[in-house]
């Protein structure tokens, strides 16, 4: 189609360009044909159109006023009425049978264009012309638009060109007054819009030729470029580099009302493609499906001016060209003559002009045709299978042909086809046929009819009318033969069809150069309902389809007629085929005797149980024969090593051979369906079949005559293993997660077809919502080999989503064979997308949670705010987001941060105990009744073994009533009312005074003590050595040995030692009691405070010795001094 378009474009260019090139002068010959003349003669304008017809009257007055000036406008350049320079006017005039033309001259300035309208009176036919300055050629005309003819200089050689011109009003028929209106306007050009031009952003007007070093816009470009064209800027050329395995395509869009064209030039400047639609239709060109597809180099796009001044946009696309083979037949060799039944050797040269090797088998076939156009009536001479063909190489292929024995003798065309079945996906599917210019002469051509004819099998000449027609039968599908020539110019046949039956007929004319027969189909009522009057040697075809007689019952007539032309055209024998018959056709005498089936040395076996062996992995091309005596041929063959079989059978027209294939081994389920290739051949292949492709199998092929006879062509070819088909079977993506986290991906990769022979790579990529790959999560190689469903890889693995991954919806895409290590027939299953999941950026996720503890730094509407925003924490009870060591929801106390422990604050009073947090009475026992060591008296300070349980106050026990608890009282049974030592609970020992002379020797020397007496008289002071006089009786004065306190302690060291020991015992007991409580810091503080508190544990105002002892006892058990004082006051009734 592209070739025809190119030829048409060149023809149009050849014809039209001479009349649109500025300065060209156009004249008209006597017969109205236009010619370009270097020195055009003056000619009469009436020659431009066929002879004018006179009007019914001559209404123009004797003295006219054409153009508003008295007198008739002349009909030559010298007598033309002048309209001035750049006229915009409205004039009136008149033409009739006596005044056929009115000429008007005008001048037009550079850059201007003129539009002209002619108003024609009703019933008249006037023509309008725009002529050159000499009046010998025209630029535009309008003939058939009455009553308003229009012309313009735009789009002609006069466009925007300064000069002198003529407008001609010409009478063709009718007569009367006309109106002539002109508009001459300045037409803006590129120079008016741009200074300078900036075509394609180059800063200049693009060069006009590829050889002028046009701007190269780069390699592998897909972009758009704006430019401007006018009459003075005929071409804009741009250069682009195209890489290997790519094509360049371009689309040109232009403003309305103009006409620009587009050309694609090769590196050497020759035209590769062109687009030259008329008007402002978008133009497009491409290197695709050309000989240069996929070839790298510099290509040139030429925007070419045809008419108009306007801006344009050039869209350029550089696309990847999928490498593909391209099969062409470039040469042939065949004999010039042969006989019916011969087996001539035909050879052709097949060239792979594509960009990829083909490893798949394809056929090369040859047909015998009269008209040179392949169609179903043509006889298949034979076919050969080619296994592969490397790109840019050729192969000479031999076809073992067989000319049907019933072939009508004469001159034939041999038509060659490569890959007629379209097995190979090619770059161009339109170049697979090849027709030599030389003919093949078969036997001796018969150009006249014999004296004794057998038209339609009637045994005589068919009549030339319906009354003498040969009756061919009812509802038939069959081939008949007959003869016509210059002496017998018509054969008439009748065919009867039943209701609902169609009728089609094909006429294949005699195979003689120059023969021309026609075919007509006549309805039962005598009306011709279809005819085929094709000239030359084309097959003729008629049908009732699309007529009122379609599927209508009746007897129809077929007329075969001879056309002698302008000389004596040859006659001869024709083929008349009713329908497209498969059986019941005309069968010539035929015999298989002496023929060699498939080169096995004779007739092939006719027993399926004992077939003729063709071997293992065969490559057999040949022919066989079936007739009434040889009704079956059986062949057996095997295939292994992952290879495949391709079987093609061709049988002559009018035969109905049967063929079936069965498998000796393998599963019982087998697909034995044959593919009708539409060209008279049937094929079966193991390729693409689950249980056949690449399997080790043995097959039996049976061919049966099915009551028909003839030769068949059989090709049993072994082909290479099927291409690998790597299949991304499954991929499981992670669930929603945060960037920087790890997740599991899993995958399955399988090979569905041919073997894997080399390692290949695969990836799992992270793809965002825009379809862009952001990261490669996993990349591996597979070296494991396998074929046909083998699982090559199936596993799972942890992958890390990179920390810098933006928040978005993602999917993971499994891509296999990422380096294109395999040329697969199916690449579409190499990529598989998993389910979508959301990745939230690590930085987005923690933007409002600096310490990443799950508690927002600022309120997001839920009222929850992190009280420790820069320190990780899990507290949720008193505050959110602070440290909670024991995990009970309450934050660890921090006085400096304003979070004291309970009850002073709300922080955890027991930060190391996950079961307690509150201590209302501050006695170190928790309030939670379900917790460890809970307080049985939560609102009243207590002790470990308090009355009522843990945390309750002690029950005071003082058996002798001396104010010292029994557990601290060394003398728990002191006499009631005895004054005891508040430390020991015992009565201090006092020496009894002497009752003798009232005086005793002082026991020590030293300062004398005072005398004391009891109920007696005062004794005298002792002497300095301790002696004194004691009193007598109750009131006597007695002298005792008394020492000072300091002297007494010094003189009695055991007292000091005892006191120190007591203090030590108190400290040890305190430590043990506090240690038994788990080392509470609060108890440690109480102990220290008890040791140094000046208010508790010491005698105070109004505090009895018993109360003081009680406080000391509580402190020794670990109570805080304040708590001990509160307990003592309560116990002793102090306020």
Q: Is the pLDDT of residue 588 over 70?
A: no
pLDDT of residue 584: 39
Among the residue ranges 597-601, 643-647, 743-747, the one predicted with the least confidence is 597-601
- Determine contact, residues 603/630, Cβ cutoff 8 Å: yes
Fold of 18-186: Jelly Rolls (2.60.120)
pLDDT of residue 1066: 63
At 385-419, the pLDDT tens digits run 999 999 989 999 999 999 999 999 999 999 999 99
Query: In the CATH hierarchy, which top-level class contains the domain 597-719?
Result: mainly beta
- Determine contact, residues 325/315, Cβ cutoff 8 Å: no
In the chain, the percentage of residues whose pLDDT exceeds 90 is 51
Q: Is the pLDDT of residue 706 over 50?
A: yes
Phi-psi region of 551 (alpha: psi -120 to 50; beta: other; left: phi over 0): left
Q: Is the pLDDT of residue 926 over 90?
A: yes
Residue 1081's pLDDT band (cuts 50, 70, 90): very low
Q: Which residue has the higher pLDDT, 627 or 833?
A: 833
Vertex 17 angle, CA 14 and 22, to 5°:
155
Q: Is the pLDDT of residue 1063 over 70?
A: no
The SS3 of residue 11 is helix
Average pLDDT over residues 130-155: 90
Q: Which residue has the higher pLDDT, 1018 or 114?
A: 114
pLDDT of residue 501: 87
How far apart CA 274 and CA 265 sit, in angstroms, is 9
pLDDT of residue 1001: 45
Mean pLDDT of the chain: 82
Average pLDDT over residues 314-337: 92
How far apart CA 846 and CA 365 sit, in angstroms, is 73
Residue 998's pLDDT band (cuts 50, 70, 90): very low
Residue 854's pLDDT band (cuts 50, 70, 90): confident
pLDDT of residue 459: 85
Q: For the purposes of burial, counting CB atoms within 10 Å of the CB of 665, is it exposed (0-12), middle (13-18) or buried (19 or more)?
A: exposed
- Determine contact, residues 960/1116, Cβ cutoff 8 Å: no
Residue 536's pLDDT band (cuts 50, 70, 90): low
DSSP letter (8 states) at residue 999: B
Q: For the purposes of burial, counting CB atoms within 10 Å of the CB of 1107, is it exposed (0-12), middle (13-18) or buried (19 or more)?
A: buried
At 466-502, the pLDDT tens digits run 999 999 999 888 899 999 999 999 999 999 998 888 8
- Confidence (pTM): 0.39
pLDDT of residue 566: 65
Packing angle, helices 1081-1092 and 1053-1075, rounded to 10: 160
At 350-370, the pLDDT tens digits run 999 888 899 989 999 999 999
pLDDT of residue 590: 58
Distances from the Cα of 743 to the Cαs of 746, 769, 791, 907, in angstroms?
A: 10, 19, 24, 39
pLDDT of residue 581: 62
How far apart CA 312 and CA 238 sit, in angstroms, is 14
pLDDT of residue 141: 92
Contacts made by residues 1025-1030, CB under 8 angstroms, sequence distance 24+: 1026/1001, 1026/1002, 1027/999, 1027/1000, 1027/1001, 1027/1002, 1028/999, 1028/1000, 1028/1002, 1029/997, 1029/998, 1029/999, 1030/993, 1030/994, 1030/996, 1030/997, 1030/998, 1030/999, 1030/1000
How far apart CA 305 and CA 236 sit, in angstroms, is 9
At 824-839, the pLDDT tens digits run 878 999 999 999 999 9
- Determine contact, residues 624/597, Cβ cutoff 8 Å: yes
Q: Is the pLDDT of residue 157 over 70?
A: yes
- Determine contact, residues 120/147, Cβ cutoff 8 Å: yes
Residue 321's pLDDT band (cuts 50, 70, 90): confident
Strands 235-242 and 259-265, by their bridges, are: unpaired
Beta bridge pairs of residue 307: 259
Among the residue ranges 636-645, 885-894, 906-915, 1057-1066, the one predicted with the least confidence is 1057-1066
Average pLDDT over residues 959-977: 82
For the chain, give every domain's residue range.
Answer: 18-186, 190-320, 327-442, 455-578, 597-719, 726-845, 991-1051
pLDDT of residue 668: 72
At 70-119, the pLDDT tens digits run 899 999 999 999 999 999 999 999 999 899 999 999 999 998 999 999 99
Q: Is the pLDDT of residue 1003 over 60?
A: no
Average pLDDT over residues 424-449: 92
pLDDT of residue 990: 65
Q: Is the pLDDT of residue 975 over 90?
A: no
Structurally, at CATH architecture level, domain 190-320 sits in: Sandwich (2.60)
At 253-264, the pLDDT tens digits run 999 888 999 999
pLDDT of residue 958: 79
Distances from the Cα of 500 to the Cαs of 7, 503, 551, 553, 757, in angstroms?
A: 45, 10, 4, 7, 60
Do 190-320 and 18-186 fall under one CATH topology? Answer: yes
How far apart CA 367 and CA 796 sit, in angstroms, is 58
**Consecutive H or E run containing 1106:** helix 1105-1116
Q: Is the pLDDT of residue 574 over 90?
A: yes
Among the residue ranges 4-8, 78-82, 323-327, 663-667, the one predicted with the least confidence is 4-8
- Determine contact, residues 429/686, Cβ cutoff 8 Å: no
How far apart CA 140 and CA 147 sit, in angstroms, is 18
How far apart CA 141 and CA 354 sit, in angstroms, is 50
Question: Domain 726-845 carries which CATH code?
Answer: 2.60.40.10
Question: Domain 327-442 carries which CATH code?
Answer: 2.60.40.10
At 268-318, the pLDDT tens digits run 889 999 998 877 789 999 998 787 888 899 999 999 998 888 999 999 999
Q: Is the pLDDT of residue 644 over 80?
A: yes
How far apart CA 18 and CA 231 sit, in angstroms, is 16
Residue 765: closest CA among 775, 780, 755, 753: 775
Query: In the CATH hierarchy, which top-level class contains the domain 455-578?
Result: mainly beta
């Amino acid at each position: 189609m592209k070739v025809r378009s190119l030829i048409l474009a060149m023809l149009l260019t050849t014809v039209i360009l001479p009349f649109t090139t500025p300065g060209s002068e156009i004249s008209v010959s006597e017969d109205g044909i236009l010619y370009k003349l270097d020195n055009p003669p003056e000619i009469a304008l009436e020659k431009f159109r066929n002879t004018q017809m006179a009007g019914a009257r001559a209404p123009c007055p004797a003295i006219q006023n054409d153009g508003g000036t008295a007198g008739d406008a002349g009909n030559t350049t010298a007598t033309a009425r002048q309209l001035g320079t750049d006229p915009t006017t409205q004039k009136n005039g008149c033409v009739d049978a006596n005044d056929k033309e009115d000429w008007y001259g005008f001048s037009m300035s550079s850059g201007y264009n003129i539009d002209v309208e002619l108003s024609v009176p009703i019933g008249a036919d006037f023509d309008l012309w725009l002529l050159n300055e000499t009046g010998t050629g025209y630029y535009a005309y309008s003939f058939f638009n009455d009553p308003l003819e229009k012309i313009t200089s735009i789009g002609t050689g006069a466009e925007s060109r300064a000069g002198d011109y003529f407008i001609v009003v010409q009478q063709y028929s009718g007569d009367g007054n006309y109106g002539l209106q002109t508009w001459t306007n300045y037409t803006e050009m590129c120079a008016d819009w741009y200074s300078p031009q900036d075509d394609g952003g180059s800063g200049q007007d693009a060069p006009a030729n590829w050889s002028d070093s046009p701007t190269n816009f780069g390699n592998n470009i897909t972009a758009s470029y704006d430019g401007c064209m006018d009459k003075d800027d005929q071409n804009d050329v741009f250069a682009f580099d195209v890489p290997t395995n790519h094509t360049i395509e371009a689309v040109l869009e232009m403003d309305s009302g103009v006409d620009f064209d587009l050309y694609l030039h090769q590196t050497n400047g020759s035209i590769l493609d062109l687009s030259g639609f008329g008007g402002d239709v978008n133009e497009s060109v491409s290197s695709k499906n050309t000989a240069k597809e996929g070839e790298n180099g510099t290509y040139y796009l030429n925007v070419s001016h045809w008419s108009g001044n306007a801006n344009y946009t050039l869209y350029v696309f550089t696309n990847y060209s999928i490498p593909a083979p391209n099969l062409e037949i470039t040469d042939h060799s065949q004999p010039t003559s042969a006989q019916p039944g011969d087996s001539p050797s035909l050879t052709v040269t097949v060239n792979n002009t594509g960009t990829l090797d083909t490893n798949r088998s394809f056929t090369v076939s040859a047909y015998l045709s009269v008209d040179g156009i392949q169609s179903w009536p043509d006889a298949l001479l034979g076919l050969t299978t080619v296994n592969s063909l490397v790109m840019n190489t050729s192969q000479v292929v031999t076809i073992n042909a067989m000319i049907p024995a019933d072939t009508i003798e004469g001159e034939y065309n041999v038509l060659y086809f490569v890959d007629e079945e379209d097995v190979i996906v090619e770059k161009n599917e339109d170049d697979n046929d090849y027709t030599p210019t030389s003919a093949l002469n078969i036997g001796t051509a018969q150009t006249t009819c014999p004296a004794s004819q057998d038209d339609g099998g009637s045994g005589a000449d068919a009549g030339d009318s319906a009354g003498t027609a040969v009756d061919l039968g009812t509802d038939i599908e069959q081939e008949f033969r007959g003869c016509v020539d210059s002496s017998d110019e018509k054969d008439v046949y009748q065919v009867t069809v039943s209701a609902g039956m169609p009728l089609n007929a094909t006429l294949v004319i005699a195979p003689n150069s120059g023969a021309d027969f026609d075919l007509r189909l006549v309805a039962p009522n005598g009306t011709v309902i279809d005819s085929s009057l094709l000239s030359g040697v084309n097959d003729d075809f008629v049908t009732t389809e699309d007529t009122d007689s379609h599927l209508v019952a009746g007897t129809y007539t077929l007329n075969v007629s001879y056309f002698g032309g302008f000389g004596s055209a040859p006659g001869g024998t024709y083929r008349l085929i009713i329908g497209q018959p498969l059986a019941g056709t005309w069968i010539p005498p035929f015999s298989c005797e002496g023929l060699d089936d498939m080169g096995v040395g004779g007739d092939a076996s006719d027993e399926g149980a004992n077939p003729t062996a063709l071997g293992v992995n065969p490559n057999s091309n040949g022919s066989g024969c079936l007739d009434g005596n040889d009704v079956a041929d059986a062949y057996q063959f095997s295939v292994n090593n992952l290879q495949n079989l391709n079987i093609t059978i061709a049988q002559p027209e009018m035969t109905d051979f049967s063929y079936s294939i069965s498998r000796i081994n393998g599963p019982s389920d087998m697909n034995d369906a044959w593919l009708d290739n539409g060209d008279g051949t049937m094929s079966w292949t193991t390729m693409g079949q689950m249980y056949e492709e690449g399997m080790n199998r043995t097959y039996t092929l049976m061919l049966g005559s099915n009551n028909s006879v003839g030769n068949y062509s059989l090709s049993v070819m072994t082909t290479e293993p099927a291409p690998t088909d790597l299949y991304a079977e499954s991929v499981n993506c992670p669930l929603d997660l945060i960037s920087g986290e790890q997740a599991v991906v899993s995958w399955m990769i399988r090979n569905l077809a041919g073997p894997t022979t080399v390692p290949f790579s695969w990836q799992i990529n992270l793809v965002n919502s825009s379809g862009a790959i952001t990261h490669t999560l996993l990349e591996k190689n597979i070296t494991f080999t396998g074929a046909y469903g083998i699982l090559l890889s199936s596993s799972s693995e942890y992958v890390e989503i990179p920390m810098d991954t933006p928040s978005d919806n993602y999917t993971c895409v499994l891509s296999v064979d990422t380096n294109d290590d395999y040329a697969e027939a199916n690449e579409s299953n190499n990529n598989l997308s998993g389910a979508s999941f959301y990745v939230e950026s690590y930085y987005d996720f923690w933007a409002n949670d600096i310490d990443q503890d799950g508690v927002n730094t600022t309120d997001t509407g839920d009222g929850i705010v992190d009280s420790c925003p820069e320190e990780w924490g899990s507290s949720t009870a008193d505050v959110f987001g602070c440290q909670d060591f024991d995990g009970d929801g309450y934050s660890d106390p921090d006085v400096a941060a304003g979070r004291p422990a309970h009850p002073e604050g709300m922080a955890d009073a027991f930060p190391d105990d996950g079961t307690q947090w509150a201590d209302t009475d501050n006695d170190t026992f928790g309030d939670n009744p379900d917790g460890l060591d809970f307080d049985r008296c939560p609102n009243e300070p207590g002790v470990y073994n308090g009355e009522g349980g843990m945390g309750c106050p002690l029950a005071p026990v003082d058996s002798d009533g001396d104010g010292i608890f029994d557990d601290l009282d060394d003398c728990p049974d002191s006499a009631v009312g005895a004054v005891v030592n508040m430390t020991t609970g015992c009565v201090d020992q006092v020496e009894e005074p002497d009752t003798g002379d009232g005086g005793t020797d002082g026991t020590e020397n030293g300062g004398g003590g005072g005398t004391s007496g009891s109920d007696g008289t005062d004794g005298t002071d002792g002497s300095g050595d301790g002696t004194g006089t004691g009193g007598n009786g109750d009131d006597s004065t007695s002298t005792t040995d008394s020492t000072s306190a300091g002297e007494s302690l010094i003189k009695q060291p055991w007292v000091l030692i005892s006191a120190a020991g007591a203090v030590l015992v108190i400290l040890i007991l305190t430590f043990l009691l506090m240690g038994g409580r788990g080392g509470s810091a609060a108890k440690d503080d109480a102990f220290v405070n008890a040791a140094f508190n000046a208010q508790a544990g010491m005698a105070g105002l109004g505090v009895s010795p018993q109360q003081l002892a009680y406080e000391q006892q509580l402190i020794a058990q670990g109570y805080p001094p304040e708590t001990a004082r509160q307990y003592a006051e309560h116990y002793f009734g102090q306020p």
